Amino acid sequence: MRYLDPVALAKLRNLSLNLRRITAEGHLTGRHRSSARGISHEFAHHRAYVPGDEIKALDWKVFARQERFYVRQYQSENILTGMVLLDVSGSMAYAAGGRPAKWENACRLAMAAAFLVLAEGDAVGLATFDTQPREFIPPRTSFGQLEVLDGLLGRSQAGGETDLAAALEAAAVRIRRRSLVVLISDLLGDCDAILKVVKALQARRHELMVLQVLDPAERDFGFAGPTLFRGLEDRQELYCDASSLQDAYRAAFQRQQKLYEAGFHGAAISYMSFYNDRPWDEDLARFLGRRMP
């Protein structure tokens, strides 16, 4: 696979998404506690017997004490659905200083997240978006799903404009059952609108993880003197003295990051920035370590 080589897979086997605390919804047998009652190994409570209940579910010890029939109910364990939402807008193609493009890092993180969901015995799917939802691969539990996802990402290219908030909202419509939602994007856009949509996803009882993929040049703005800037999405050009913009740009970038940190932290949404001058797997391990209960 292009985005998960044997070395990366070996490292990922030591990591976990810590998904057992999520309550799953569905009918397939899996590892996660369901919001529905069913037959499993973890006792939930008793309820009065009603005609039609299976005799084997009766608790005879309770009957011996109370001379009334009660059925033992257990917490059902179902398969969790994981959906990776991946930004394919033009800004994700940005690269500087000989570093890989943000898109390359984003694809590796998407594949890593997919592997970790599958390693839990759960189902994972992928949805890409820019101004609107693009490709959609429905969740599957087979490890063959990794080949499908890797093939799609290998054929895809970041490009075009984006309305991140609107595209996220449209992509979220496809996620019907309670799920783990992994959003991978540079989050370049209307910060307030993006936070609103992500929090709305959480309000639907999804578990959210937000992985922001950035290049250090977007943080440091190390340009100086007369510089021509060309937009990766709208292709507009701006020729200016970059030195005169440094302080204002850096201040604006820091404001944006603080808004994201405060917004996601306040909503108890797992969030971290991944810069492509650092090993993505090490940062992923650090991010997942923060999620430990």
Q: pLDDT tens track of the chain, all 293 residues?
A: 999 999 999 999 989 887 654 544 444 444 544 444 444 444 556 777 766 667 777 888 888 888 888 777 554 445 678 999 999 988 899 988 899 999 999 999 999 999 999 998 889 999 998 877 789 999 998 899 999 999 999 999 887 676 778 877 777 777 777 789 999 999 988 899 999 989 888 888 888 999 999 999 999 988 888 888 876 666 778 888 888 889 999 999 999 999 999 999 999 999 999 999 999 999 999 999 887 54
Give the model's pLDDT for residue 78: 58
DSSP helix/strand/coil, 179: strand
> What is the pLDDT, as a whole number, of residue 53?
65
CATH-assigned architecture of domain 6-22+80-290: 3-Layer(aba) Sandwich (3.40)
Q: What pLDDT is recorded for position 237?
A: 84
Q: Does the CA dihedral 21-22-26-29 come out positive or negative?
A: negative
Radius of gyration of the chain (CA): 23
Would you give the DSSP letter of residue 100?
A: P
Q: How many CB atoms lie within 10 A of CB 252?
A: 12
Q: Spell out where the chain has E strands.
A: 29-48, 70-78, 81-87, 123-129, 133-140, 179-185, 207-214, 226-230, 237-241, 270-275
DSSP string, 18-52: --TTSPB-SSSEEEEEEEEEEEEEEEEEEEE--TT
Report pLDDT for 107: 97
Task: List, in sequence order, every beta strand (DSSP E) within 88-206.
Answer: 123-129, 133-140, 179-185
- pLDDT value of position 67: 80
- Could you tell me which residues are beta bridge partners of residue 185? 212
Spatial separation of the C-alpha atoms in residues 211 and 244, rounded to whole Å: 31
For residue 55, the model assigns a pLDDT of: 77
Q: What are the start and end residues of each CATH 3.40.50.410 domain in the chain?
A: 6-22+80-290
Q: What's residue 227's pLDDT?
A: 85
Please report the pLDDT score of residue 130 as a whole number. 81
- pLDDT score at 219: 93
